[in-house]
A and B are shown apart, each in its own frame.
Chain A
């Protein structure tokens, strides 16, 4: 089926742009929230609420603003990815051992250095977890893009179901499944690698 490859590329493009937007916005926001706890509580409530919106309703709503195209799906993925990305990044950054931060400050690191040399590297495994979670669920979400006229592997899956053409359906579903497993595994490896270095010190 020669239309699998362009569909897969389109699917990946949609998934990545959505998650990337969440990461680009989410990372600095989470860093900012470390010092603004009230704001954090409010923001988390909003982000949690977004998670509960059923995907088709979300797509329909976003479609009204962005239209029947890939952008709508990208924005929807962005919104749904905020939950894992923001939360995991925040927890990762906030749970860095206070003694380590104090040491960094005391020996003369600027705030930025404390963030970039201590907080961020130590939070990296958790941040990666958040990214991994959002990529895997975004891959699934992107299949529903077909309902608002976007590209991706969704078209193959849904047309396959409707016409009871198992082959077509699989040609859409299997790549999604394989991609999800691939990212789970690969990113998981990175997480493990980073975690090795962060075994808690004996104190």
Chain B
């Protein structure tokens, strides 16, 4: 559906997109993701000719977009942006119907289509007469989506559409996209910087860096077989599928609750409450492991609440190392009745924690395969 053939885009001497070759198949939801400046948004904007390539060709539906009038092109491509960009002086109805209006549809046809659209997302009809400023951010972006769908474009471009919304709204909209996609099977190119979002909604993830594609694969593939260290780091250790449970690295989690030894007792207690853990691992200011402290200890001590952790008497522990056998560590934890064991590197810097649940998770992947 969309093909990038050796596309380069440069501002003067700064190369933003470097000989990019990308193809997006019909009916797929492809996510472009990567660190800032990797070129993901530029790639998106090349598709609807908001930006022109310096070299190379881009084909949409087998037509080279060089030969298509940009305005006509954009009317056939849905576009949803992070700022939402609804027109504040138009009603919701007018906003939804804007592209049909540009194309000269008559009132009846517009109204019929609007009716279809609001059914699609279960939007209450009363909103049609309202103005954008009367709606919440999440509702506005749903309208933004309807606006993009209005003329049933074959492709929809979405540029960090949920970036400005709160996490709860974001999640609900992600779910809606996934549900819609099941029904409509549109070709969607979606830019985000949120890995969880990408994993959740993508059929295919394209990870970019410095204007090049580092790895492009289905989510499962990416998570199981990251191409290199960059990919691993970007995805984030805890999301990777090891599909195995051999070493400590396979079964550990990076959600370790640490506190610096200079932290006051009262803050330490608050942290434990917040994270719902019975104890903390104490580190120094370079994240080197000092030991652990339990809430019991703090309660029993007669120190004042402003005193630092280190005055209590930190219990020494023997941490685990990444390449240790997971089995051995599991057995040790069973034997010594340890609930959480910190994992450190050669320099004694804390890098993660092995807990019952992290072990269970890994085992679950091994037994049942990837999360869906």
Contact = CB atoms under 8 A, between A and B. Distances in A.
A and B touch in the complex (CB under 8 A): yes
Interface residue tally on A, bucketed by range: 20 to 34
Interface string B118-132: 000000000000011
B99 A99 contact: no
Contact of B133 (A99, A106, A117, A201): A201
A165 interface: no
A198 B84 CA distance: 15
B95 to A, nearest CB: 10
Interface in B120-173: 131-133, 135-137, 140, 144, 147-148, 157, 164
Contacts of B79: 103, 106-107
Contacts, number: 90
Interface residue tally on B, bucketed by range: 20 to 34
B88 A103 contact: no
Nearest to B78: A107
A201 B88 contact: yes
Contacts of B71: 108-110
B146 to A, nearest CB: 12
B84 A107 contact: no
A118 interface: yes
- Among A102, A106, A107, chain B packs the most CB atoms within 10 A around the CB of A107
A183 B133 CA distance: 30
A113 interface: yes
B140 A202 contact: yes
B72 interface: yes
Contacts of A203: 83-84, 137, 140, 164
B137 A198 contact: no
Given A121-B89, A197-B89, A199-B133, A106 B81 contact: yes
B287 interface: no
Interface string A177-203: 000000000000000000001111111
A105 interface: yes
A105 B48 CA distance: 10
B99 A108 contact: yes
A122 B98 contact: no
A69 interface: no
A100 interface: yes
B81 A102 contact: yes
Interface of A: 97-100, 102-110, 113, 117-118, 121-122, 197-203
